[in-house]
Structure formats: C-alpha cells, structure tokens
Amino acid sequence: MGKRKNWVQNHVSNWIYRFYPESSREEDLHRNTLEALEQVPLITIRRFVVRTYRFMDTYA
C-alpha cells in the first residue's frame, strides 16, 4: 500500500501526520505513519488503485 498512495491520500495523511509529536525514533515514526494512513478513507485508496491500473494498462 505504501507505494500506491495518490495525491489526495498523500496530502490527507501528511496533514494528519503533522499533528503527531516529532520524534527521531523509527518505531514512533512507523506507528505515527500507520495511524495517519488508517484515517484515510479506504474508498480513496481503492479509487486510486483502479485509476493506476487503468493508466498502467494504457501505457504498458
């Protein structure tokens, strides 16, 4: 899922992620990233995947 983020999902998750406290510990960063991504609606992710497959099919 990490590489299949679209513009909306990426910006929404980044906006949510900014509200988490800063940390340099990798486990904190990992947990915060997963929590931010979980707040992005699944339908947004699914729509992007469908559009991505259409694009790849067109240019493959």
Q: How far apart are CA 25 and CA 2, in angstroms?
A: 20
Task: Supply the pLDDT for residue 6.
Answer: 62
Higher pLDDT among residues 53 and 10, named by residue = 53
| Residue range 29-56, pLDDT digits in tens | 888 788 878 888 888 878 878 888 888 8
Q: How far apart are CA 60 and CA 9, in angstroms?
A: 25
Say if residue 1's pLDDT is above 70: no
What mean pLDDT do residues 5-32 have? 73
Task: Give me the residue spans of the domains in the chain.
Answer: 2-59
Task: Supply the pLDDT for residue 39.
Answer: 81
Task: Supply the pLDDT for residue 47.
Answer: 86
